[in-house]
């Protein structure tokens, strides 16, 4: 089985011997042209035409009225939670199946993550688990959601669209509305994904994206905040630009701001990459279909696919094995043959920084972390 898989992967990526990474960037478009244009303009920092163009493109792709460029996805999430009202001492409900940046951004607000389980089908936050947890520990006091056990305000819900698979975000938003809690979508991995024909990141009060080197579209770093709220968009741009009051020559800052604005040099590459997004998505979907057909012949391994109501960008493709021992054997057999595979991240509630954080029952998360493996998912060179 392992030899068959390794041979299949090498055939797909036309790499008979060399190392095959999990997800590497592709530069097929106008990246060099736009980056050189930005260099020639001398506007290589946070002011320049490509930053503005990037924001316009992102708003159009996400289907939101506004987009604000940031230096990376973590900074985008940090600012989005500030805008949503997260304050020191608050709790933010999120999922244990996530990259550490989600919880790091919560702690940057001096808040505490509060974990609820994920769905087995989507790998993202479970609406059922969310509702059960809120019914168990929360109450509304004068319109404010309070954790009865800790006395802390629950000020935000941050679901993450894991590996580009959209979670049941509409149900999550409905539950959050009942409890008067804003939703900030961590859509870092899901550029090009949609749920019920609506792009991820556009369901909550704010959404955030990442353009890190391993994402479907990259500019080395980079992030974006998207929203339909004009006031929040303006404030996002203001506080990510060190909260400097506009003036021709004076430098006056009205509050503690953040140097989180995306440089024009990165934005130039991002614009070229966004132009290639439809091509990348088509290429990756074709690979996903090939994987699905291949694994359909193997009863011991299941290739994970999108739900009926969603469209995934298949950022990182994944398989589910029967148990942890099988998972570990798969990881050993593939990586020893220079084909990169990896398990799901360690559950966030198991990390030393967060192991005392509030946590509901997370049986699905524990099930998945023992069984799911990511497999090579790059856009293929045809």
For residue 273, what pLDDT is reported? 98
Q: Which of 40-49, 86-95, 104-113, 215-224 has the lowest mean pLDDT?
A: 40-49
d(CA 287, CA 305): 12
**Is CATH 3.40.50.1860 correct for 31-275?**
no
Average pLDDT over residues 212-235: 97
Q: Is pLDDT of 164 > 90?
A: yes
For residue 81, what pLDDT is reported? 98
d(CA 68, CA 78): 13
Q: Is pLDDT of 297 > 80?
A: yes
Strand order of the sheet with strand 206-210?
66-70, 223-227, 206-210, 184-186
For residue 343, what pLDDT is reported? 97
Q: Report the CATH number of the 2-23+277-375 domain.
A: 3.90.1150.10
Q: Is pLDDT of 254 > 80?
A: yes
Answer whether 0.75 is exceeded by the pTM.
yes
Q: Are 77 and 158 in contact (CB under 8 A)?
A: yes
Would you say how long the chain is, in residues? Answer: 382
Q: Could you report the per-residue pLDDT of 20-78, keeping only the tens digit for each? A: 999 999 999 999 999 999 999 999 988 899 999 999 999 999 999 999 999 999 999 99
Q: Are 316 and 341 in contact (CB under 8 A)?
A: no
Q: Could you report the per-residue pLDDT of 177-206, keeping only the tens digit for each? A: 999 999 999 999 999 999 999 999 999 999
One DSSP character per residue, 317-328 reads: EEEE-SSHHHHH
φ, ψ at 221 (rounded to 5°): -135, -140
φ, ψ at 372 (rounded to 5°): -90, 135
Q: What are the domain boundaries of the chain? A: 2-23+277-375, 31-275
Q: Is pLDDT of 299 > 90?
A: no
Q: Is pLDDT of 249 > 90?
A: no
d(CA 9, CA 314): 16
One DSSP character per residue, 267-295 reads: HHHHHHHHHTHHHHHHHHHHHHHHHHHHH
Task: At 262, list the tokens.
Answer: 């995306």
Average pLDDT, the chain: 97
Q: Is pLDDT of 89 > 90?
A: yes
Q: Is pLDDT of 141 > 90?
A: yes
Q: Is pLDDT of 238 > 90?
A: yes
For residue 334, what pLDDT is reported? 97
Task: At 270, list the tokens.
Answer: 């991002």
Quick one: what percent of the chain has pLDDT higher than 70? 100
For residue 248, what pLDDT is reported? 86
Q: Could you report the per-residue pLDDT of 319-353, keeping only the tens digit for each? A: 999 999 999 999 999 999 999 999 999 999 999 99
């Amino acid at each position: 089985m392992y030899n068959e898989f390794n041979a299949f992967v090498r055939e797909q990526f036309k790499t008979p011997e060399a190392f095959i990474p999990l997800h590497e960037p592709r530069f097929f478009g106008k990246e060099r042209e736009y980056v050189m244009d930005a260099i020639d303009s001398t506007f290589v920092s946070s002011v320049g035409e490509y930053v503005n163009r990037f924001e316009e493109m992102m708003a159009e792709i996400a289907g939101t009225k506004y987009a604000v460029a940031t230096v990376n996805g973590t900074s985008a999430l940090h600012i989005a939670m500030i805008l949503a009202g997260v304050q020191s001492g608050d709790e933010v409900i999120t999922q244990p199946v996530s990259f550490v940046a989600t919880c790091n951004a919560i702690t940057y607000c001096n808040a505490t993550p509060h974990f609820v389980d994920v769905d087995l089908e989507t790998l993202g936050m479970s609406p059922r688990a969310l509702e059960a947890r809120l019914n168990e520990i929360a109450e509304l006091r004068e319109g404010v959601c309070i954790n009865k056990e800790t006395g802390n305000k629950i000020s935000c819900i941050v679901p993450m669209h894991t590996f580009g698979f959209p979670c049941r975000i509409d149900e999550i938003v409905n539950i959050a509305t009942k409890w008067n809690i804003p939703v900030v979508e961590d859509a870092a991995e899901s550029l090009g994904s949609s749920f019920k024909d609506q792009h991820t990141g556009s369901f909550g009060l704010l959404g955030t994206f990442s353009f890190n080197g391993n994402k479907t579209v990259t500019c080395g770093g980079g992030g974006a905040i998207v929203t339909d709220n004009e006031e929040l968009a303006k404030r996002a741009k203001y506080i990510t630009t060190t909260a400097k009051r506009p003036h021709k020559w004076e430098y006056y800052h009205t509050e503690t701001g953040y140097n989180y604005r995306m440089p024009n040099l990165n934005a130039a590459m991002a614009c070229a990459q966004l132009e290639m997004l439809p091509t990348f998505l088509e290429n990756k979907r074709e690979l996903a279909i090939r994987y699905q057909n291949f694994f359909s012949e193997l009863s011991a391994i299941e290739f994970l696919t999108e739900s009926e109501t969603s469209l995934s960008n298949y950022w990182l493709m994944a398989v589910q094995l029967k148990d942890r021992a099988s998972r570990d054997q798969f990881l050993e057999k593939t990586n020893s043959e220079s084909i990169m595979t990896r398990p799901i991240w360690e559950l966030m509630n198991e990390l030393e920084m967060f192991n005392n954080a509030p946590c509901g029952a997370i049986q699905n998360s524990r099930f998945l972390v023992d069984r799911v493996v990511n497999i090579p998912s790059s856009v293929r060179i045809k």
